[in-house]
Amino acid sequence: MNSTSEVTQSGRPQLGASAVFAVLRHPSLWFTAVRQMFRLAPNGWWRTAPFLPRPDARYLRFRLETQYGDSVHSTEPRDLVTYLAWCRSYQRDLRRRRARA
């Protein structure tokens, strides 16, 4: 499957290698990607295998459905890059507003 997300047999969407490579091509987004990974992870993610900070499967299905109209649709790598760029921009704007206040 040549896509950013894949759905496992359990129905859990997962990011594929193309997503990793898309982010690796944008070093300015690396920190943002790691930050978002931890922000989207549920509380206590470290208590259950595979011990990785992954977003809840229900959340991922919801996001895929709201973005593509289908909860099993594959994400385009450029969409992930666009999302991370937006997150970075939003955080910068928040810091600027707080600095002015």
Query: For 30-53, what is the mean pLDDT?
Result: 92
Q: What local confidence, expressed as pLDDT, does residue 56 receive?
A: 84
Tell me: pLDDT of 53 over 60: yes
1 close to 7: Cβ distance less than 8 angstroms: no
Alpha carbon 19 to its chain centroid, in Å, reads 9
- Which pLDDT belongs to residue 3? 46
Give the pTM: 0.76
**DSSP class of residue 27?**
G
pLDDT at 65 over 50: yes
Residue 87 pLDDT level (bands cut at 50, 70, 90):
very high
Q: What is the average per-residue pLDDT within 5-28?
A: 75
